[in-house]
Structure 1
């Protein structure tokens, strides 16, 4: 299927978004079902977190636009079957199902109700999470962190296949097919080609390369055995973020933001602000999840606490403040851009805004971050 406007799913009404105070900036409107551009005055803090996330400080974030349980469940069940097919999370598929990545995709991409498009993006996201859960968690536990670099290099090779001569290629192909995470990465990008252009896929490859570079840097900190300064951690988190997932908002929505526009300095700034905000929210929610793990742990609250000598609760509050500052900054950047933007760029910025709201709702409720 070419990367053009996706067809509506038969029998499911098109989403139109919520109504009421604080929702107009994110409402889906118009013939392209486009989220209206963010503005600096049209937002509201997200709903209070549920479960163990109830202790999370207030996070300034747009509301999520929809919560279609049936669509999320359909994508999630199909994603679990795919994970079993490619070999990731063997023996842990029920826990993987409970994380509910299908719901995350449903929440973060409200401008399509096509489960095939959502599944294509969900496969990419699951493969990227598997890199973290397999390779990075192994390094975090102190199990040969120096091996992480070669593992990530081959993970990148899985999505941008090496063109090797002779017998080396046969060995390479066997290795790619035999390692579940590499296999999942390769398959997910290949499957995405039915919904994304070559330019959009190349964009994804580049953003994933940055993600893996950030993951590798963290292994360097672990080998050194001490936390980085806050500024260095934040620079790293800019790369080690949800940026590869957010880079697919146009492909999932069924349109394409031209490469030269995606790379424009003002658009890049807004994209990176949103991406960093999304992952700092993850840091706040995942602090509890990671707190009992072995080895040296790195998330923004623990890095702030180490540098400033404050309590973890105070560091958590300061982390939320940094997240909120970034969301406000993204609002202002996007509002300025949309004064002269065409409909495609406006839709893209609205898609980032909607992604932030859906990401917040998923973190607040997913068992991945809210175990009782």
Structure 2
């Protein structure tokens, strides 16, 4: 058995052969850049107006109005002292423009522009190179592309981006008692739900699964299923069958398929019977069968590996501290990731902390970490991982 910090260290130490690919800009959301991106030109490329109004030459309160400049026009306009032109947001300011006055602070009578206040030099002008200079670093290798990143890349005219490939993921669920939702079930059977949770949490963080399969609790069937799944994936996620019961065959089946165990069991609640292994450049997590345990292990251990596999510069869910809204004592005998709800700057540890209780996790939005035997008072600060 390993501690939480030891498990995270083992995952972090894994060497991964990163692969890269070229994707269209519109398909790059959530990918990490595989090389530094430098600006191909100044941004903005030219001095332009920050708003609709009037471009002014000289600092006065009256001007002779001599024309108009719309956004996108390439014509060269020159102003003389005391002249002004109507201008629109994003339009190139004429040569010799001293300032731009917003239209709300102006009036026009018989071709003369009147200002409600004196302008200031450079007012409302976006200067050439004010955001980026040509050759300047835009994003470093490992930067994860969010919507604002795509906007900036698009403004640089970059139609395709070089990014790290994401891992291919397969999912296996095990258990004789499991029945697909929508199918009739007999006494003693339950509906299978973990594969939906795992597929959903993959999608939540920008990953996809290729295949998912259901396997009965049988050693040969488990060995065969794992063998087939490993033929086409980088990361295999197995749900259930990893404890020490008579029908838990996942661990010996992984060994039979050449998977080297890196750790088995973590000193925590929930999710103690967690397995992590490697076969060459493939990785396997065998997750506990209880739903809350399975998801907790995904958030804490699977997600960092998937992000590392994808070339992310930073991996794992960030930790935030919130004051506790009530007193709480951890008497589970192990360090615990507790289902919690963060609201209005405080965290509430929810009822229903059992490993099989998924409703409390569904109603919460965080995992609160409380070490073994700790007694907390209202207002004490608690480490939290936000999960939604």
Query: TM-score when scaled to structure 2?
Result: 0.24
- The structure in which a higher percent of residues are helix is 1
Greater relative contact order, per chain length (Cα 8 Å cut-off, separation 6+)? 1
Q: Select the structure of larger CA radius of gyration.
A: 2
